[in-house]
Amino acid sequence: MTLRLGDTAPDFEQDSSEGTINFYDFLGNHWGILFSHPADYTPVCTTELGFTAKLKDEFEKRDVKAIALSVDDVESHKGWINDINETQNTTVNFPIIADKDRKVSTLYDFIHPNASETVTVRSLVIIDPDKKVRLIITYPASTGRNFHEILRVIDSLQLTDNYKVATPANWQDGEDVVIVPAIKDETELTERFPKGYTAVKPYLRLTPQPNK
């Protein structure tokens, strides 16, 4: 199965380090991040899971629930979590799915045969409260993810869902945003963007972030 932006995220039930997970029940009405790991006890994954745990407050601020996946079993996960807590000076505060049968990895297209027939790539999926896939990022197994970029994308998605704007290159929360080209009526522009805007070109109009 190939997962694309806008698709409905597949539901599943699978064992995890925190017991059986029904994915939709776990997410509830929250945003979700599902990210895969090639295997337990791997160095890059250990740093990623530790850093994710340290971002707990940032995720909660954005109403996001994190859940990881590795193809090893629950007992292996529990031992690995002890290592993560010790080496990364944190406490893992989210479940790690035990995907020994590759069920979830197959549903979410986490195994790329030309990279490895058995090991998942380092993929991350952002899912909105309507269970729609909003972002897919896939790294090679050798490269750790940039979780600051993940937070930036969540900020952008949540902002642009609520206002008729888009975020420009390298945008950070609090910076100017782009007014979508579909808005052309001056009355609507004034009502939606009372702080005003700068027209760099007719199609490129910048305005202060509306919710700041």
Active site residues: 45
Contact 65, 33 (CB under 8 A): yes
What phi and psi, each to the nearest 5 degrees, are found at residue 49?
A: -65, -35
DSSP structural state of residue 175: S
Q: Tell me the DSSP string of 29-74.
A: TSEEEEEEES-TT-HHHHHHHHHHHHTHHHHHHTTEEEEEEESS-H
3-state DSSP assignment of residue 183: coil
Phi first, then psi: give them for residue 9, nearest 5 degrees.
-65, 130
